[in-house]
Amino acid sequence: VVGHPAKGQMLTNPRQTVYGAKRLVGRAYGSPIVENIKDKFHYEITAGANGDAGVKLSDKVYSLQQISALILREVREVAQNQLGQPVSRAVVTVPAYYNDNQRHAVREAGKLAGLYVERILNEPTAAALAYGYGRKLNQRVLVYDLGGGTFDASVLELADNVYEVISTGGDTFLGGIDFDNAIVAFLLEEFQKKTGRAFQGDRVALQRINDAAERAKCALSERSEMRVHVAFVTMIDDKPYDLDVTLTRQKLVELTEGLVDRTVKVCDEVLKAKNLGPKDIDEVILVGGQSRFPLVHEKITRFFGKPPSKGVHPDEAVALGAALLAHSLGQLEGVVLIDVLPMAIGVGLPGGRFKPVLERNTSLPSTKSYTLSTHRDGQTELELTVFQGDSERASDNEYLGTLKLAGLPKLPRGAVQVTVTFEVNNESLLKVTARESSSGREVTSTFSTKDTPEAVKARLAQLDTESAAANVPPQPTAPSARTPSTSGARVVNPVPMKAVAAVSPPVNRTPAVRPTAAQQTAAPAVPVLASPPRQRGFMKWLKGLFGRV
């Protein structure tokens, strides 16, 4: 069961009911993030067959892709019942701060649900599309997306049907669940004060308290205080005890103000990344159920100096934006979406350092090359460990995989150079290719993503033991002239490179079979254009001349 029926059984069967899986999808079970949060869920999180985080229900382990596919399949069936016709294609939204592994996992979930995923769309971009579609706006907006499990903030420039993201940031572990947990912690603390005993109830009782906390949180958006009464939560000395606490709005503010301040801090960082200030934003768009919280409105009004816009429905904006994009895919004059890379992608270096190759907020699509040299005489193999994140230390970022290059000629150190090209498409999905620079021939390469966190640490430690002086420092080369450049380097046309390795999470990444023409009920999709920065001015000039591009 999915949706409201599943939520209804959480009270009686919390161990077998999955919620908040959006935070875990596409993450390795052994990663520090999963280790820190796996005990905070009522259901059992365990290792899947390929090393990813999975969920154990009864005696079977499901991958998070399978869990997500069950939800997508339910959504698909609801749509088919409403429309009276088959549905085989979809635009799927994800948090803007999702990394490469998580985005590929979402595509895999769509495939398992029987859907061809036409496009993965960032949720703040979808909300901005819902806000501005058909209004011919010329504004700079910030989308504040605080949902149940994640938070995103994105700054977009809207120019008629062109939606350009210029900066984005977020926190995939900040959402309504954390507000509920803060209330539950307070309720249990009050219970201990009254009874003199720590709460020793079972998971069912704890879930009842959690449900009461969520209802109190919602009620306090309209009331000044709320009685939280949960009967018979535990037995103490063979005597049943209730939980009975009065929660005021002022106390709720004290409990959750730090969480709201974290969202405002992210907004400030997103603005400063592009040298912007609160006064440079024309409108603030609130999205997500938790954005209804009165304290959010107060903090946003205080920070930006203006109240947030009420132009979109916080629960429906993202889905509406996805639907509008899906509609435009079949039109000759669709919307133009220009997105950015949410987190830097780069390589691990000796000393555990992280070297970005593609910087955060790089306009997409984008391509950049990286030259790697041998550091030992007669060396025939090279390894390049790829990470995604914004920390200067590789171990603090998300491990994407290790590129292993073999079959290099036996020459003195530094004489063999391999050009590795990082290509990110308009969905923030990464592909890596490699070619030996001197001969121009392909390099035999594999991309492994199945290493455990311990193996990754061991590899970084091994790099650290190698003498930095023995390494010829790898140098990034200029990007292709056909893709945006953010480095300011001279644009050159490198030798055409054939793809020989692709970044992939530890799942079967066989491309989904696109539905046949007979299966499709809409016109063939027309790709949404994403213009390089240099072309945008030309496009605006054309638009002024002809009225449209």
Instruction: Assign residue 178 the CATH number of its domain.
Output: 3.90.640.10
* Same domain (yes/no): 180, 244: yes
Question: Is the pLDDT assigned to residue 447 strictly greater than 80?
Answer: no
HSE-up (13 A, CA, CB side) for residue 6? 13
Q: Which of 290, 307, 340 is the last residue of a domain?
A: 340
Question: Is the pLDDT assigned to residue 406 strictly greater than 60?
Answer: yes
Question: Is the pLDDT assigned to residue 181 strictly greater than 70?
Answer: yes
* Same domain (yes/no): 330, 365: no
* Same domain (yes/no): 275, 137: yes
What pLDDT is stored for residue 465 in this prediction? 55
What pLDDT is stored for residue 97 in this prediction? 87
* Same domain (yes/no): 206, 287: yes
Distance of CA 537 to the CA centre of its chain: 30
pLDDT band at 401 (very low <50, low <70, confident <90, very high): confident
Average pLDDT over residues 432-460: 67
Residue 546 lies in a domain: no
* Same domain (yes/no): 308, 364: no
Domain CATH number, residue 364: 2.60.34.10
* Same domain (yes/no): 190, 336: yes
Q: Which of 340, 363, 395 is the last residue of a domain?
A: 340
Residue 363 lies in a domain: yes
* Same domain (yes/no): 377, 240: no
Number of independent structural domains in the chain: 2
* Same domain (yes/no): 196, 329: yes
pLDDT digits (tens, 9 = 90+) for 61-86: 999 999 999 999 999 999 999 999 99
Question: Is the pLDDT assigned to residue 335 strictly greater than 90?
Answer: no
Average pLDDT, the chain: 82
Question: pLDDT: is 122 or 236 the higher one?
Answer: 122
Q: Which of 426, 452, 477 is the last residue of a domain?
A: 477
pLDDT band at 503 (very low <50, low <70, confident <90, very high): very low
Question: Is the pLDDT assigned to residue 517 strictly greater than 70?
Answer: no
Whole-structure pTM value: 0.78
* Same domain (yes/no): 322, 380: no
Residue 166 lies in a domain: yes
Question: pLDDT: is 503 or 418 the higher one?
Answer: 418
Residue 495 lies in a domain: no
Residue 537 lies in a domain: no
Question: Is the pLDDT assigned to residue 307 strictly greater than 90?
Answer: yes
**Domain interval for residue 386:** 345-477
Asked whether the beta carbons of 145 and 152 are under 8 A apart, the reply is yes
Average pLDDT over residues 135-152: 93
Residue 270 CB contacts under 8 Å (≥ 6 apart), including other chains: 142, 153, 154, 155, 167, 168, 169
Least confident among 6-15, 29-38, 295-304: 29-38
* Same domain (yes/no): 398, 473: yes
What pLDDT is stored for residue 130 in this prediction? 95
DSSP 278: G
